[in-house]
Amino acid sequence: MKILVCISSVPDTTSKINFTADKSAFDKNGIQWVINPYDEFALTKAVKLQESQGATVTIATVGDAATEAVMRKALAIGANDAIRVNAEPQDSITVAKELAKIAEEGGYDLVLCGKESIDYNGAAVPAMIAQLLNRSFVNACVGLEVNGAEATAVREIEGGKETLTVKIPAVIAGQKGMVEEKDLIIPNMRGIMSARTKPLTVKEPTETDVKVSAVSFDAVPARAQVKLVSADNLDELVRLLHEEAKVI
């Protein structure tokens, strides 16, 4: 079985987010980049299938050379090889077309990815890949078992969970629960050293027709200062809730 895991490189959640002076672009200076956490659940599941079923695992991303450090970490986690499309990701459909092309040309049985990236939270790429490939698609997957030509997937729905059986090839978008957090793989020294010699192929993009462009960015407004009210001053509390917070 051949598995393609689509990953994206995102800012660490502890990074301070800034924009350029004209607010036209995200300022990448000083940003620590990591594997998108949802993609990491998918990657770990792929490595588990590699161990239990002898699957081969390829990671793919759309990004410039700066993403290769994150890709090497993914290789250290256990992927066999990597493919990077040498382009700045501009919109969901362009990214999806590039990844779908890789999946189709490589003849991958399963395409695994996170349900969304934690930077833009678009949650569009996985479904677009499935549509472009005309494959079954399961989103928000919190459990996955593969048995021959079928996969049993558990996904979260409003108020509960749903179990589905899909034919392979398929596209699965995972999230926390696809594997337990305690099972996420931390690269050891052997994995890090072997990642340096694993193949990383760079391909030029085939899609250049960008459908979406950012006009401007605005930072989230700073939070107002907290006002402390004495426990015995209920009149002042009611006044603040009514006049300032406007919740009563």
94-109 residue pLDDT tens: 999 999 999 999 999 9
As a whole number of angstroms, the distance between CA 179 and CA 241 comes to 43
Asked if the structure places residue 96 within a domain, the reply is yes
203-233 residue pLDDT tens: 999 877 878 878 888 877 877 788 888 888 9
Asked if the structure places residue 69 within a domain, the reply is yes
Asked if the structure places residue 231 within a domain, the reply is no
143-194 residue pLDDT tens: 999 998 999 999 988 889 999 999 999 999 999 999 988 999 888 888 899 8
Quote the pTM value.
0.84
Asked if the structure places residue 245 within a domain, the reply is no
Asked if the structure places residue 65 within a domain, the reply is yes
Asked if the structure places residue 239 within a domain, the reply is no
CB neighbourhood size of 164 (10 A): 13
As a whole number of angstroms, the distance between CA 88 and CA 79 comes to 23
Asked if the structure places residue 241 within a domain, the reply is no
Give me the pLDDT at residue 210, please.
Answer: 79
Residue labelled with tokens 């994150």? 70
Structure tokens at 213: 């462009």
Give me the pLDDT at residue 150, please.
Answer: 92
> Average pLDDT, whole number, for the chain?
90
Domain of residue 27, residue span: 2-218
How many domains does the chain fold into? 1
Q: What are phi and psi of 111, to 5 degrees?
A: -110, 115
134: left (phi over 0), alpha (psi -120 to 50) or beta: left
Average pLDDT, integer, range 14-37: 85
50-106 residue pLDDT tens: 999 889 999 999 999 999 999 999 999 999 999 999 998 888 999 999 999 999 999
Question: Could you tell me how many residues make up the chain?
Answer: 248
Asked if the structure places residue 27 within a domain, the reply is yes
* CATH number assigned to the domain comprising residue 100: 3.40.50.620
Give me the pLDDT at residue 17, please.
Answer: 81
Structure tokens at 141: 């997957």
